[in-house]
Structure 1
Amino acid sequence: MQDGNAVVPPLKKLSEPILSPSKEGFDSKNIYNPAVIKERGTIVMLYRAESKNDNITGRIGLALSEDGVHFIKHPEPVIEPEYSWEKKGVEDPRVVKVGKTYYMTYTGYDGKTAKLCLATSKNLVEWKKRGVLFDEFPFPKNGTPNWTKSGAILPEKLKKGEFKGKYIMYFGDSNIWLAYSDDLINWEFIEEPVLTPRKDKFDNILVEPGPPAFMMDFGIVLIYNSAGLENGVRKYKAGIAVFDKENPTKLIARSEKPILEPTYEWEIKGWVDNVVFIEGLVEHEGRIYLYYGGADRYIGIAYWE
């Protein structure tokens, strides 16, 4: 880690995907970028799915597991495109639970602009959509205005500092910004990015939040996804950033090297080549599992003992 003394143990990976596209149906083309949450000992996964029968860029499917590795899929999606801002797809969920309510951030895509959206649920199956979080965002992506994605919420209020008593969220998919909220529904953003690409590192093109942020004694931990050019080839890899507990805009440590990168054939060749993209994290039976999309087609697991 840069600027800190934290030592991150190496991740182990399963060599095969744990979930692949179905033969038919809403997840028959690609299945990837999963959120996970643990409920009464069961791992609940919410994943992005694409069908070979249409050009919708995402529906959200559900799968359940007792051991964290073998999942049973629900036969129908639990979230589908409905509104104008998401008519082409609902994508890339991240889920936290606060009190008795589940909060899902996801990307709504209208065919031109990606917008960070929110939905809430009491049971992980029936979701109430809360709409776009930031109608206007002053930092275009590739010339497209009001583009926002990838919200990683810290599911507890900060106890000290400028944001005392507020929830925070890291979001963005070129740089990473910070947003804050009193109620987890209405959010305000800070205009200065808190994490940016680094010219000569693995994350030299873009950075994007991974799973929900979590609190440790030494700071707020954000596992992040990134893209970088390597010998002219674009590769997606993951890193870790740590922010100050009292000032969540202040970066105090960051990975010098990626914690996860494409190595297996199913991570290297797929719908988008050379991608590992983490969105889910859960502790289960003595392991910390990280769930990720491989080449935008499969779902894999990496873990720390």
Structure 2
Amino acid sequence: MRYSSLFILLFSIFPFNSHSQEKPWMLGPFERFTDNQPILQKDENSEFDDPMSGKLVKWESMATFNPAAIVRNDTIYVLYRAEEKLGEKEIGGHTSRLGLAYSTDGIHYQKMTKPVFYPDEDRQKKFEWPGGTEDPRIVETEDGLYVLTYTQWNRNVPRLAVATSQDLKNWKKHGPIFLNYKDGKYMDRETKSGAIVTQLKNGRLTAAKIDGKYWMYFGVPHIYLASSEDLIHWTPVEDYTGQLAPVLNPRPGYFDSWLVEAGPPPLLTNDGILVLYNSGNSQNIGDKKLGNRIYTGGQALFDAKEPWKIIDRSNNPFIKPELDFEKSGQYKDGTTFIEGLIIFKGKWYLYYGTADSMVGVVRSETNNNE
């Protein structure tokens, strides 16, 4: 497979030089541009007729965070996790639904009044209720189908699932991605954070095929790998013993010493597969300058033909909690939890959740195409 034309296009959009990033293959650098403010926050007045409880609920009264993003008809759409406040429960004890916001300039965002994706009286309710639908990532196929990966949370086992849509508002749920794999071998094991590999083609980010298959990085506290022929049914990569084979692990001595977790959809470039990932720190064995449980962002490069083969990895976080709203909220240790990556008007936009409470965005200003 040849990537020369893709590389030229990617090279013109973000810099491959050691002066702008820690390593020449990394994406960025990213800069804050929203006056140090979040772009989305909770709304204690938003109401929704919940089909599960039969009640009128304040569906985003607790928090809005952990966003996916996609560009459609020159407009940015952000799918974000919204939590309904249920008393004084801890993290994971509320109910999550997915809201939709949009922007035509990348700075100002308008929310839709109702969630577009949520637990319902359907075949998935046993997996999604009462905890809800969480932490989306989204990609588009070349023919315009939107594929959503998300976590189903029934407050028992978090399961990675997939849904599809033609318009971002009406969704078809396909259920847990490993439901039919080896008689449900992984159905009772925590799976989450599915990031499908994309490529930049004719100015659009679309799901990429490598050797005839789609690939997805997923999981926490290690990152694993799965492949698919249709983006619906997935086969995990296992080792010779039949166990999930981690392709990225936490590292003692670094910012990602506690855990690693798949971030936004990775990019297929001439250098390889560029994976942006979330990382947690354990101060006693990790980065002494970061506190315990601090979530930052790292980057890793995998082989373009063997997606399980790591080539290189960043030694320092390229994004970390620095602003007040990134270090206050439900998760007081601080997070910049990256989940959405788009290209909009020649610039990269990276969307992230802050302290399990709000949505932020950073942008790569470097652009030689304008």
Kindly state the Cα deviation for residue 6 of structure 1 after the two structures are TM-superposed: 3.0
- Which residue matches 1:242? 301
Q: Which has the larger radius of gyration?
A: 2
Question: Which residue in 1 is equivalent to 2:14?
Answer: none
What's the counterpart of residue 228 of structure 1? 281
**CA distance in structure 1 between the aligned counterparts of 2:38 and 2:66, rounded to whole angstroms:** 12
Q: Are 2:97 and 2:132, in contact at CA under 8 Å, matched by a contact in 1?
A: yes
Q: Tell me, yes or no, if structure 1 residue 291 matches structure 2 residue 351.
A: yes
Amino acid at match of 2:168: L
In the TM superposition, residue 89 of structure 1 has moved relative to its aligned partner by 1.1
2:196 counterpart letter in structure 1: I
Q: What amino acid does structure 1 have at the position aligned with 2:31?
A: K
1:5, distance to aligned residue in structure 2 (A): 4.7
The yes-or-no answer on 1:84 pairing with 2:126 is: yes
Instruction: Note the C-alpha offset of 1:200.
Output: 0.8
Number of aligned pairs?
Answer: 295
- 1:156 corresponds to: 208
Distance (whole Å) between structure 1 residues aligned to residue 38 and residue 190 of structure 2: 31
- Secondary structure in structure 2 of the residue aligned to 1:229: coil
Write out per-residue CA displacement over residues 104-123 of structure 1, whole angstroms, 9 at most, x where no aligned residue: 00000111210000000011
1:96 matched to 2:139? The reply is: yes
Partner of 1:40: 73
In the alignment, structure 1 residue 280 sits paired with structure 2 residue 340: yes
2:250 corresponds, among 197, 213, 231, to 197
Counterpart CA distance in 2 for 1:58 and 1:284 is 28
User: Residue 225 of structure 1 contacts residue 239 of structure 1 at CA under 8 Å; is this kept in 2?
Assistant: yes
1:161 match: none
- 2:85 is matched by which residue type in structure 1? K
Seq. identity, %: 41
Output the CA distance in 2 between the equivalents of 1:53 and 1:237: 28
Partner Cα distance (2:213, 2:170) in 1: 27
After superposition, where does 1:50-199 map in structure 2 within 5 Å?
Answer: 50-53=83-86, 56-82=94-120, 83-87=125-129, 88-98=131-141, 99-135=143-179, 136=184, 145-154=188-197, 155-158=207-210, 164-190=211-237, 191-199=244-252
Unaligned runs of at least 5 residues, structure 2: 1-17, 46-57, 88-92, 198-206, 238-243, 366-370
- Conservation of the 8 A alpha-carbon contact between 2:255 and 2:296: yes
- Asked if 2 retains the 8 angstrom alpha-carbon contact of 1:4 and 1:252, the reply is no
Q: Does 1:263 align with 2:322?
A: yes
CA-based RMSD of the aligned residues comes to 2.0
**CA pair 50-200 structure 1, distance change in 2 beyond 3 A:** same
Contact 1:150 1:209 in 2 (8 A): yes
Which segments of 5 or more consecutive residues in structure 1 lack a partner in the other structure?
159-163
Letter in 2 for 1:281: L
CA distance in 2, matches of 1:148, 1:266: 28
Task: Give the Å deviation of 1:213.
Answer: 1.3
Match of 1:27 in 2: 60
Conserved in 2, the CA contact under 8 Å of 1:133 and 1:186?
yes
* Structure-2 change in CA distance of 1:241 and 1:137 (3 Å): farther
Shift, 1:137, TM fit: 5.3
> Kindly tell me: are residues 8 and 221 of structure 1, through their superposed partners in 2, closer, same or farther at Cα, counting changes over 3 Å?
closer
Give, in angstroms, the shift of residue 303 of structure 1: 1.4
Give the letter aligned to residue 189 of structure 1. Answer: P
Alpha-carbon shift at residue 61 of structure 1 (Å) = 0.4
- Tell me by how many angstroms 1:4 deviates: 6.6
Structure 1 letter corresponding to 2:44 = K
Q: TM-score, normalised by structure 2?
A: 0.76
- Separation in structure 1 between the aligned mates of residue 114 and residue 220 of structure 2, nearest angstrom: 29
- Tell me if structure 1 keeps the 8 A contact 2:23–2:314: no
Q: Distance in 2 between matches of 1:96 and 1:294?
A: 22
Higher strand share: 1
- Closer, same or farther in 2 for the Cα pair 1:7/1:133, shift >3 Å? closer
Cα shift at 1:261:
0.4
Question: Which amino acid in structure 2 is aligned with residue 113 of structure 1?
Answer: V
3-state SS of paired residue (2:294): strand
AA in 2 matched with 1:150 = S
TM-score, normalisation: structure 1? 0.92
| Counterpart AA for 2:215 | I
Matched-pair contact (CA < 8 Å) for 2:178–2:233: no
| Distance of 2:165 and 2:29 partners within structure 1 | 35
Confirm or deny: 8 A CA contact 1:4 1:253 kept in the other structure: no
Does structure 1 retain, via aligned residues, the 8 Å contact 2:128–2:152?
Answer: yes
Give the CA deviation at 1:233.
2.3
One-letter code aligned to 1:10:
P
Does the 8 Å contact 2:70/2:138 carry over to 1? yes
